[in-house]
A and B are shown apart, each in its own frame.
Chain A
Amino acid sequence: MYRSSRLLRLAGGTLTAACLCFAAGNVLAADNESGQQLKFAMVTHAQKGDTFWDIERKGGKQAAKNVGAQFIYSNHKAAGKQVTLVENAINQDVDGIAVTLAHPDAMKSVIKKAHEADIPVVGFNSGVAEWHETEANMFIGQDPQIAGKAVGKKLNELDAKHVLCVNHGQGNKALSRRCAGIKKTLDGDYSLVYVNGQSMSSVRSRVIAKLQQDRSIDYVVALGAPYAMTVVRSLPKLGRDVQVGTFDLNQSVAKAIQSGKLQWAVDQQPFLQGYLAIEALYLKATNGNTIGGGKAVLTGPSFVTKDNVDELLKYAKQGTRG
């Protein structure tokens, strides 16, 4: 009995301490709020711990800071959970919601709910083809298919004979559209391989296996910066000359482009997406503006190559480009 009650007390103590911490945080937030502070929510379909999404979040946070608004961030990769998170934001009575539309159908009803509560919604990052149907007010992002097509054309210029698209999220619409875009404009042969984005050893093994299976592949395109780096590092094992390009950017990718190990990266400017999404909500709330005139506002694609990488690198180092 004694032992169990001690355990209980310990658990109770920890819980109280945790509650106190949260309460203190809220008090601080309320302090500089002076009753009038605007509140914006950002809800994404990010996988936990993904570098790209961290940059999106930083963009949103910076925009909120600049306009003196409160910033509430939440994420879940599953559609159902993401819907619940948007509902939470509505219940918190925010002044605007920025939501990624990776699962546009699932978001329809909850966006309607937001409108009923008089909360404007901006779609961002994914869902460029479907955002109109969801009745979001605005959209900010990159069109993955347009970006993919641009990559396909670039690969034609670079004289790629057989391109392998490495998809790290089987079933993700935006990722498969990038590959589909490449396939559409590419003159040479095209192949696809799926890897497990949460296990680097699987990325390495499966890409190398595909390159061993088809020896005519001479160009690999990764759909995310960390995966591109793993591909670059595994290539010496292969003993064959294969070039690599990638979607999205981080510091290592920028350095690899500088040293010539990676040929190029497609930048969709995630910081800008997060930033503009919150900025658009702020302008909507304070000035009634709607950005884009009923059309999506595009943040990419732009190509990062050896020629322009130096300038980018300093921003990549502070973690705001990528």
Chain B
Amino acid sequence: MAITSSNQNAVAVAPAGQRFRKNAANVIKRPEIGSIGGALLVFILFFILAEPFRDPVSWSTILYQSATLGIPAVGVSLLMIGGQFDLSVGVGVTTSSLAAAMFAMQVTGDVWFGIGFALVLSLAIGGLNGFLLVKTGLHSFLVTLSTFLMLQGLNIAITKLVTGNVATGDISILPGFEVARTVFASDFNILGVSVNIVFFYWLLFVALATWVLLRTTIGNWIFAVGGDENSARAVGVPVDKMKIGLYMVVGFFVWFLGMHMLFSYTTVQSGEGVGNELLYIAEAVVGGCLLTGGYGSAVGSAIGAFIFGMTTQGIIYAGWNPQWFMFFVGLMLLLATVFNAWIRRQATQG
């Protein structure tokens, strides 16, 4: 209305200015805007405090750590936007690598069958999580806490049963290992810095998830299911199928990281992975996903993972007293998250 009361010239320029303001407001209201602030804070801090942090070679390690933390977080963020939790992700990664290693070594003698078997298994575990959730009507926290505990037990018990030990044998002796390693765990040399292939997969996965979320019907449905399940159902969204599907997507990412772990470390200890599920959830939350669902982004989860990767590596690069390691990790995350929330508040108010 202000436009009509002003003079003729203003009427001509207003729409353009308005569009710009609207675009700027849209950018600033994106879920990940706060986490970018947090990431910048952590980056600047370590850039000043830690000399090796400035060395491009160190970035190969920082990016590697961020990517291995970030790949499951892509799935977890989609799931959280859809309003669900998954606590079974951390041990799920170990389940997948154990399954691939044992199936390949004891059953087929070829790594690719192991890889395929693990994929089917991981998707099935995801599907089972979703199925149990839909059928029992329990909170996803409880359902996946149960599968988390069961998988933890199965990982150890079945490994012991099959191999007689609690770790799998060395898979690098099997045919197909070298090719699989190239696919899942090879290193690239870029401008003198060696970068692991998981970093590129990570970028690809984040881009794909972002495209699905923002440009497809399925993306709309994910937001709708997480925002208000009943109204989503009322407008015809297949809510149950969406939930099961989202858990299977998480299963895919879990499988992928599991294969990377297997082919870069060649043996798997059955007790690994416990505790990582909380990191993946933390990354999604730091990156702007709401714990209640319906809001968030995949890019945000990547920035969350990047904050965590920079923090754990930066503390070592800064040469801080190792006894204080976990304290510093916690403190840095808290600072980054508080700063992130503050920026988001400023952005949404302005």
Contacts and interface: CB of A to CB of B under 8 A. Distances in A.
Interface residues of B, number: 49
A126 to B, nearest CB: 18
Q: Determine the main DSSP class of A at the interface with B.
A: helix
B210 interface: no
Interface stretch (A106-114, A117-125, A201-209, A273-281): A201-209
Nearest to A210: B316
A109 B303 CA distance: 49
Most chain B CB atoms below 10 A, which of A196, A205, A229: A205
A200 B61 contact: no
A198 interface: yes
Contacts of B135: 7
Interface stretch (A16-24, A45-53, A130-138, A298-306): A45-53
A198 B272 contact: yes
A202 to B, nearest CB: 7
B261 interface: yes
A220 B50 CA distance: 22
Contacts of A198: 271-276
Contacts of A206: 312-313, 316
Contacts of A199: 272-273, 275-276
A209 B164 CA distance: 35
Interface in B232-282: 261, 264-267, 269-276
A47 B55 CA distance: 37
Interface string A248-271: 001110000000000000000000
Most chain A CB atoms below 10 A, which of B50, B65, B266: B65
B160 A54 contact: yes
Contacts of B322: 167, 192-194
Contacts of A167: 322
A57 to B, nearest CB: 9
B156 A48 contact: yes
Most chain A CB atoms below 10 A, which of B68, B159, B269, B275: B269
B321 to A, nearest CB: 9
Contact of A226 (B68, B169, B269): B269
Contact of A233 (B164, B264, B319): B264
Interface in A120-178: 167, 170
B64 A205 contact: yes
A237 B60 contact: yes
A170 B328 CA distance: 14
A214 B319 contact: yes
A51 B165 contact: yes
Closest 6 CB pairs of A and B: A49-B271, A49-B270, A205-B65, A201-B68, A209-B316, A48-B271
Given A47-B271, A51-B165, A206-B316, 7 more contacts: A49-B167, A54-B167, A170-B325, A199-B273, A209-B52, A209-B316, A237-B60
8 contacts: A49-B269, A50-B166, A51-B165, A51-B166, A51-B269, A194-B325, A210-B316, A237-B60
Interface of B: 50, 52, 55, 57-58, 60-61, 64-65, 68-69, 135-136, 152, 155-156, 159-160, 164-167, 169-170, 187, 194, 261, 264-267, 269-276, 309, 312-313, 316-317, 319, 322-323, 325-326
Interface of A: 7, 47-51, 53-54, 167, 170, 192-194, 196, 198-202, 204-206, 208-210, 212-214, 226, 229-230, 233, 237, 250-252, 319
